[in-house]
Amino acid sequence: MVVMLGIDVHKNTHTAVAVEQVERKLDQKTVRATDAGHRQLLRWALRNWPDTELTFAVEDCRHVSTRLERALLAAGQTVVRVPPKLMAGARSSARTRGKSDPIDALAIARAALREPNLPAATHDSVSREVKLLVDHREDLVNTRTQMQNRLRWHLHELDPELDPTARSLDRLCELDRLTAWLAQQPASMVVRIATELVTDIRALTVRANALERELAQRMAHLAPRLLAIPGCGALTAAKIVGETANVTRFRSEACFAMHAGVAPIPASSGKTNRHRLARGGNRQLNAALHRIAVTQTRLAGPGRDYIHRRRTTGDTTMEALRALKRRLARVVYNTLHHDTTQQPTTLPAAA
C-alpha cells in the first residue's frame, strides 16, 4: 500500500492530507510551520501508517517549503514537488467545491498520484547557493532599474536636452559624468535627490557586477560544458543550475523538458498536425532556454540551421523556436548530467 501525503504550505502553518492510491482521503492534520511542527507531522504519518510506503507531495513554493523539505529528507522520507498548475487542475476536477487548506492539500496529493514522474526534492546546497546569488543579483538589478527610471525624470526636469542613451546608466563612466554635471547645477531639492540616486545606482552597479563575476567563477567550476553551449553565458548558466536544483532528480530528459515547460503540447485536428505552447513548468528555467534559443538564431551554426529547416517544412517562426527550445532542453540535460557525474560522453555544443 502506498500513501500520498499532500501538504499545503504557508508561512505559519502546514496542512497535510493523506490519500491512498485510489485517491480516497484517509486523514488530515495541520501543524505549525516550525521544527517542532515538522517533527509532529512526521510522527503523525509514521504512527498512522507504520508499514506503508509514504510519499510526501509538497506544493512547489520553496520560499516557504524549504525547511519542511529539509526536515522530511533528513528523516529519510521521499519528497516530490508539485507545480501549482497541476494542483489547480486537480482541484477543479474534484467534487468538493470551494477553497481551503485541506482542499488544496487534497488536490496536491491527487495531482502527485496522477503524475508519477514528478521531480523529487533533494539536498543540494551547491545549486541552492547559486540560486540565492542569482535571485539576490536580480533583486539588486530591479532596484537599480527603478532608481534609473526616477533619475531620468529628475534629469528631464533639470534639463530636457540631457537624455542619457539607453542602458548607459549601467556604466560607471556615464554615472561619473552625471555626478560632475550635477555638481555644477544650482542647489535645489531635485539636484540633491538626483545626486543621491546617482550614488545609489553606482553602489548597486558595483555590487551587481561583483555578483556576476562570482557567478561566472562558480559556473566555470560547476558547469564548464554548459558555458560552452553557444548563447549560454554565465548568468544564464547560473539561472539553469539554480532552477534545475540537481539534474539527477529527473528520471529522463523528457521529464526535465516537461519541468522546464518546453515539451510541446499536441494541438492537432483532422489534417492539421501541430503543437502549441506549453504554459506550465518552471518559467524561470523556460526563460533561460529561450534566451539561448534566441541567441542561437542570430549566430551561424546548428541552431540557426535547425530553425531554417523547420521553417522550410511549414512551421511558423514561433513553432520552430519552440522546437529548438525542446532540443536545447535535451542538450542542457545531458550537459548537466556530464558536469554532475563527470562521466565522459560526446555531446553537441549546440542544438
Task: Note the pLDDT of residue 342.
Answer: 59
Question: Residue 37 is placed in which grid cell?
Answer: 511542527
Type of residue numbered 134 = V
Task: Note the pLDDT of residue 176.
Answer: 94
**pLDDT truncated to tens, each residue of the chain (351 aa)?**
789 999 999 999 999 999 998 888 899 999 999 999 999 999 999 999 988 889 999 987 767 888 898 899 888 888 988 877 776 655 555 556 668 888 889 989 988 888 877 777 776 778 889 999 999 999 999 999 999 999 999 999 999 988 888 889 999 999 999 999 999 999 999 999 999 999 999 999 999 999 999 999 999 999 999 999 999 999 999 999 999 888 888 888 988 888 888 887 777 777 666 666 777 778 899 999 999 999 999 988 889 999 999 899 888 888 889 889 999 999 999 999 887 765 443 333 444
- How many other C-beta atoms lie within 10 A of the C-beta of residue 19? 24
Q: Measuring CA to CA, how many Å separate 53 from each of 27, 78, 140?
A: 16, 9, 44
Question: Residue 299 is placed in which grid cell?
Answer: 549566430
Question: Residue 236 is placed in which grid cell?
Answer: 544564464
Question: Dihedral of the CA atoms 58, 60, 65, 71 (nearest 10)?
Answer: 50
Q: Which of 56, 57, 51, 60 has its CA nearest to residue 77?
A: 56
Q: pTM for the full model?
A: 0.77
* Residue 3: strand pairing partners: 54
Residue 110 to residue 87: CA distance in whole angstroms: 8
Q: Which of 66, 63, 37 has its CA nearest to residue 125?
A: 66
Residue 108 to residue 99: CA distance in whole angstroms: 13
Task: Note the pLDDT of residue 96.
Answer: 63
At 155-199, the pLDDT tens digits run 999 999 888 888 899 999 999 999 999 999 999 999 999 999 999
Q: Is the dihedral of CA 149, 154, 159, 160 positive or negative?
A: positive
Residue 18 to residue 24: CA distance in whole angstroms: 9
Question: Residue 316 is placed in which grid cell?
Answer: 511558423
Query: In this structure, which CATH number among 3.40.50.620, 3.30.420.10, 2.160.20.10, 3.40.50.300 belongs to the domain 2-114?
Result: 3.30.420.10
Residue 172 to residue 198: CA distance in whole angstroms: 10
CB 72 within 8 A of CB 79: yes
